[in-house]
Amino acid sequence: MKNRQPAYRDETASSSRSADSPLATSTRNLKKRVPFAFAALGAVLALSACGGAVHADSASGPTGEPVSGGTLVYATGDTEPACLDPIVSGNVPQALVSTQYLEPLFFQDEKGEIGPWLAKDWKWSKDRLALDITVRQDVHFTDGQQLNAETIVENVAYIKDPQTLSSTGILAVEKVASVEKIGEFTARLHLSEPDNALLEHFAQVWVPIQSQKALARGAEANCLSPVGTGPFKVESWSKQQEVVLTRNDEYHTPSPAAGHAGPAYLEKIVWRFLPDHAARFAALQSREVDVIDVLQPQNAVAADADPALDTLIGSRPGHVVNLTFNTTTGPLTDVRVREAFVRSVDVNAALKSIFMSTVPRSNSVLSSITKFNRQNPEAYSTDVDKANRLLDEAGWTERDSEGYRTKDGQRLSTTVIQNDSILVPVSVLEQFQNSAKAVGFELIISQEEPASFNARRYAWEYGLSPLYYTKNSPSVLNIVYDSSHIPSVIKGGYHANNNGLIGSSANDIDKALRLAATTGNEKQRGQQYAKAQQLVDAQYLSLPIFDQQTRLGFRSDVEGVALLSPLGMPTFYDTWLDRS
Amino acid sequence: MNTHEDLPTIITDLEEAMTQGTQTAVIESPSGQVPPALPGNRPGTIVAGGIRRLGRGLGPGIIVPLVFLLGLIAAAVIPSVLAPSGPLDMNPAEAFTAPGAAHWFGTDESGRDVFSRVIHGARSSLLIGVLATAIGLGLAVVLGAVAGLGTRAVDFGVSRFLEVLFAFPGLLLALLVITILGPGVVTTTIAVGLSAAPGYARMIRSQVRSVRGSGYVEASIVQGRSRAFIIRHHILPNVAAPLFVLGTLGVGQAIVWASSLSFLGLGATPPDPEWGSMLSLGRLYIGNAWWLTVFPGLFIVLSAATTTLLGHGIQRKLKDK
């Protein structure tokens, strides 16, 4: 791309994990050590002072002017969405694809700052119970419908409609009591209580702005062909095969992080579903596809050694990939047993061996790119002696014939459920099983199909479960750890993320989280989230493992691949094929 | 290799062999006294005789697989003696070590010794192979005998039922059984056994019918012998020899099927060292650590080839006779 002024950084700094180093784990082509560039570029430099996308160039750099046209074939290793509209349910597979055709009201940069996108202005009332949002007047959806105040009213109503079966979206507008049109292009949101995360919610692709005309068709039709303002539009969807996206030739609303203006370069994107990791990487190697996601560590190592391939890896915000303890039943109701498990396993050894050191360790329940994350390595370090001591204290002092600890004739045993889509491979659990056995703790691994995995999770039929929750706000803690969410398994919802902790510790956590969500003081918000994390750490409600990541592998003649803030989803708006 | 795709060929071979000369008649004297059975008339003596005959004309085609099979059996019986470490012993610091003096077959992603896991895996693979074949043959003998000895209507019913089962490829039938019963080693064994049964049953039925129509059985019926007597003294001895061949061939096939099911994540559960599941996991690292797939794969191939070669060897010997 012409006039690029990439901001270089050393990938070895990826272990830096403070909130000041956003997307710290984003790496590209480690072996060649070619740094990645942020997107504040060239002509649009002035518009994008804060950046917000992680871009990748080939090792030699683009060879010339971006070329318009061509078809990009993307193969996802994530599951196929049941609906292309991310309001319905609301999960990562939907976010991956819908980032290409839907856009939200606000843009949130990698520092967490909110800026305009489809909304050009916003204003809070003094009591912070009303928010006026003014949208751009020059935007039309791909079905011709103009964006206006009515659009916001209809979008919020659609999310809140129980028939829509929204999960992520409905939690995002939980505090929005009503919406009224107060001008042609201005809508007023009335809140039941102040919500510090509301603007962040409206910066997610899970709360996009869709054509009210399209929404009126009903959820079923909208699922097949949602209509937004994005650089591409949904052309067709052959289930279990591919979604075809074509260029929106009228496009003129790029995010502040974009590298150019006007329509996208690519004419078409074919979005394929290839869940088998080995087959997907083989398809990339054989030029059958241009870009793949869920790039496995061993394949990232192989891609780095291959001059025809590049990689782009970036952290996603939210609750990290972790093993969540079910605190409602069995030995894990005892915090000493939970800590003993955490102390007995060696997460670092697993990341070094199985992930080939391509994934940094997380010592926080919040992702390293999420505001107010608090790394606590002391709490989550391996300490086998302490594990043994804690289990002795907890009364698990006898041993059975297989060497496992027992109490009152019961073996110290728990079950972890596993499904590959939750990013914790079974081999990691095997290592944990082995380490836990050394302190007399039996860990049974139960591999599940996606449906049975979710069924067991919703029914609380597990001791440990690998989980994560992608969200561009520390308020993800309110969803995961506020005890008021314990019974709120939303019908048709994707996540039931809570551990079931009750009692005085739960009350303290709730108090901190609720204050953090409503205070008008940003500093106090930070303090309360820090306190909540401290309490969560002390209760050992989960074992953080690593940041969720978007892991792309692509042909090196694919230029301008980028990850878009705040969710770190791939965006192909600036992408072009250097195949002349 | 003896895979399910080869089954029709093997079936044809065997049916041919059976009709060509493996039948043995028990001739009854007019007084109704049964003379001492000829050598090879009873299952035990047939097997012993077969082994003796094999011993006389062993070529490398028999000796090599036999030695390998004995090695596998040793691995299954005394894995701890042959393997340098336990199948579950981990050392993440040594993950992905290439084959060498310290680790003959290298190490996996958790630093487990692949050679030790392959050796320990022999037990489950052989056990599944033998037990599944036994289940398949057991069921087949019952079905084949019922069809072969029953009335025309019973024969028709059983035969059509077998044909319906034949409409499903064996592995698909096994998948169906696992879907109903749930994954696991025991289920896999049952599933593989059930899936192999229709093929065996059809062969046994044709053998039983052919013996049933023979003169000596007719003579026996005329003499008023009971059905049980006829089955015991005429039918079973004639079915035993091909059953043994079938069983030997079947073990290899069952090992491949069981490995296939484990490969699909429906057989052995982690971290059990089972060849199919090792192959499945190793496949993810095929570009980085070839030894994770090559060695378990090699053992699946060799064990299936071994039993197939032995089975064919025995079959040839019986044909020669």
Residue of chain A nearest B286, judged by CA positions = A278
Contact A517, A526 (CB under 8 A): no
Strands A309-315 and A291-292: unpaired
Task: Answer yes or no: do B110 and A277 touch at CB < 8 A.
Answer: no
B269 interfacial to chain A (CB closer than 8 Å):
yes
Residue A124 has pLDDT above 60, yes or no: yes
pTM higher than 0.80, yes or no?
A: no
Q: How far is CA A260 from the centre of its chain?
A: 26
d(CA A227, CA B283): 40
Bigger pLDDT: B14 vs A6:
B14
B54 pLDDT tier (thresholds 50, 70, 90): low
A299 and B287 within 8 Å at the Cβ level: the answer is yes
Query: From the candidates B89, B284, B290, which should be mutated to test the interface with A, based on the most A CB atoms within 10 A?
Result: B284
User: Is B231 an 8 Å CB contact of chain A?
Assistant: no
pLDDT range class, residue A154, cuts 50, 70, 90: very high
Nearest to A447 among B108, B265, B284 (CB): B265
CB contact under 8 A, B90 and A431: yes
Instruction: Give whole-number Cα distances, A180 to A105, A110, A132, A139, A183, in Å.
Output: 16, 31, 9, 20, 9
pLDDT of residue A53: 57
Contact A248, A235 (CB under 8 A): no
Is the previous residue joined to A566 through a cis bond, with omega within 30 degrees of 0?
Answer: yes
Name the residue of chain A whose CA is nearest to B88's CA.
A434
pLDDT for B56 equals 60
| pLDDT beyond 50 at A255 | yes
- Cis peptide, bond prior to residue A66, ω within 30 of zero: no
Smallest CA–CA distance from B179 into chain A, residue: A449
Q: Hey, which of A300-304, B198-202, B284-288 has the most confident mean pLDDT?
A: A300-304
Whether A165 has a pLDDT exceeding 70, the answer reads: yes
Give dist(CA B24, CA A171) in Å, integer: 79
pLDDT of A1 strictly over 90: no
**Phi-psi category of residue B63: left, alpha or beta, with phi > 0 → left and psi -120 to 50 → alpha:** alpha
Contact criterion met (CB < 8 Å) for A430 and B110? yes
Residue B320: other Cβ atoms inside 10 A? 9
Name chain B contacts of A431, Cβ cutoff 8 Å. Answer: 90, 92, 110
- Tens digit of each residue's pLDDT (9 = 90 or more) over A198-208: 999 999 999 99
Give the contacts of B224 (CB within 8 A, at least 6 positions apart): none
pLDDT band at B221 (very low <50, low <70, confident <90, very high): confident
What pLDDT, in 10s, does the model give residues A399-429?
999 999 999 999 999 999 998 777 898 899 9
> Is the pLDDT reported for residue A489 higher than 80?
no
For residue A545, the SS3 value is: strand
Mean pLDDT of A232-239: 97
* Binary contact (B287, A302; C-beta < 8 A): yes
Q: What integer best gives the mean pLDDT of chain A?
A: 87
Cβ–Cβ of A296/B111 closer than 8 Å? no
CA distance linking residue A111 with residue A93, whole number of Å:
24
Q: Which residues of A touch B (CB under 8 A)?
A: 277-278, 281, 296, 298-299, 301-302, 346, 349-350, 352-354, 356, 426-427, 429-431, 433-434, 445, 447
> What is the amino acid identity at position B205?
R
Q: Which residues of A touch B289 (CB under 8 A)?
A: 298
pLDDT value of position A24: 31
Q: Return the structure tokens found at A91.
A: 């999960």
DSSP for residue B235: I
Taking only the tens place, the pLDDT of each residue in B148-164 is: 888 889 999 999 998 88
How large is the average pLDDT for residues B164-192? 85
Could you report the per-residue pLDDT of B108-117, keeping only the tens digit for each?
A: 999 999 999 9
Q: Would you state the pLDDT for residue A32?
A: 33
Q: Report CB contact under 8 Å: A445, B269.
A: yes
**Cis bond upstream, residue B271 (ω within 30):** yes
Strand arrangement of the beta sheet that strand A268-273 belongs to: A232-238, A242-247, A268-273, A71-76, A291-292, A549-555, A309-315
- A531 to chain B nearest CA, in Å? 35
A353 chain-B contacts, CB cut-off 8 A:
92-93, 95-96, 109-111
For residue B320, which amino acid is it?
D
Among A280, A347, A430, A443, the strongest candidate for a mutation testing the B interface, having the largest count of B CBs within 10 A, is A430
pLDDT of residue A55: 58
Look-up of token digits 């023979």: B214
Confidence of residue B284 (pLDDT cuts 50, 70, 90): confident
Shortest distance, CA A305 to any CA of chain B (angstroms): 11
pLDDT of residue B45: 57
- Position A521 pLDDT exceeds 80: yes
Q: Characterize the bridge pairing of strands A53-56 and A542-546.
A: unpaired
Residues in chain B: 321
Tokens at residue A232, please?
């591409």
Q: Going by DSSP bridges, is the β-strand pair A309-315/A549-555 parallel, antiparallel, or unpaired?
A: antiparallel
Contacts of A429 in chain B (CB under 8 A): 270
Q: Establish if B215 touches chain A: CB-CB under 8 angstroms.
A: no
The reply to whether ipTM tops 0.90 is no
pLDDT higher at A491 or A389: A389
Residues of B whose CB is below 8 A from A277: 284
Cβ distance A340 to A376 under 8 Å? Answer: no
The least confident of A311-320, A368-377, B28-37 is B28-37
The answer on pLDDT for A519 being more than 80 is yes
What's the length of chain A? Answer: 580
Q: Mean pLDDT, to the nearest integer, of B129-157?
A: 89
On the question of pLDDT at B26 being above 70, the answer is no
pLDDT number for residue A367: 96
